[in-house]
Amino acid sequence: MRLAFVTSNPGKLEEAREYLAPLGIEVYQLNVDYPEIQADSLEEVAEYGVGWLAERIGDPFFLDDSGLFIPALNGFPGVYSAYVYRTLGINGILKLMRGIGDRKAYFKSVIAYWDGEIHFFEGRVDGVIVEKPRGSGGFGFDPIFSPTGFDLTFAEMTTMEKNRVSHRGRALRGFATWLKENLK
């Protein structure tokens, strides 16, 4: 089967393709710029986006809203991750972390699938913000995030390795399981 992934982010697309292709699901990109509202949770942002897109796209589709949350910064950048990545960038985050002992962070991903109704699949991965960027793989904040139990940053992992532990990999696992059960 073929599934439309509404995203402008080639990194997200590659991860979804790599995860779903072995299950016989071919993912294609729909690069539609949907409104991302200011809200307190990723779910709310995703839900609004789905509602907007559902009025414009006839076929089923999914999107992924994700973010990096740093408890020592009260959850920042969180729902503002895309804006912060574009403006402060990874070096801006490292600057904000200077002098802060608690470097814990987590990524969260919410996949929202629309097939006439909305279905949510979530994933989270805990880890730390490293001192200096490392690695050239992945995208976004990957060079400064190392998941718990690994010395590597996400940017030092292959897509398959990242998918095994990442927030998106976990959300994709739930999504794939649901698809198998519901789309026979």
User: Using CA atoms, how far apart are residues 63 and 46, in angstroms rounded to an integer?
Assistant: 7
Q: What is the smallest separation between the CB atom of 184 and ligand ITT, expressed in angstroms? A: 29
Find the binder of ligand ITT among 19, 66, 153, 175 (CB under 6 A).
66
Contact segment (CB under 6 A) with ligand ITT among 1-9, 17-25, 54-62, 114-122 equals: 1-9
Q: Do residues 72 and 103 make contact, with C-beta atoms less than 8 angstroms apart?
A: yes
What part of residues 81-140 is at the interface with ligand ITT (CB under 6 A)?
81-82, 85, 107, 138-140
Question: CB nearest ligand ITT: which residue?
Answer: 140
Q: Which two tokens stand for residue 150?
A: 């690994």
Q: What is the smallest separation between the CB atom of 25 and ligand ITT, expressed in angstroms? A: 18
Residue type, 39: A
Residue 47 in the binding site for ligand ITT (CB under 6 A) = no
Closest CA to 93 of 125, 139, 129, 135: 129
**How many amino acids of this chain bind ligand ITT (CB under 6 A)?**
22
Q: What is the smallest separation between the CB atom of 83 and ligand ITT, expressed in angstroms? A: 8
Residue 126 annotated as catalytic:
no
Instruction: Give the Cβ contact number of residue 88 at 10 Å.
Output: 15
Helix then strand then coil, % of the chain, to nearest 5: 40, 25, 30
- Name the residue with tokens 């991903």: 109
The CA-CA-CA angle for residues 90, 96, 101, to 5°, reads: 110
Residue 170 in the binding site for ligand ITT (CB under 6 A) = no
Cis amide prior to 77 (ω within 30 degrees): yes
Residue 7 in the binding site for ligand ITT (CB under 6 A) = yes
> Which are the catalytic amino acids?
65
Binding-site ranges for ligand ITT (CB under 6 A): 7-9, 12, 36, 64-68, 81-82, 85, 107, 138-142, 154, 166, 168
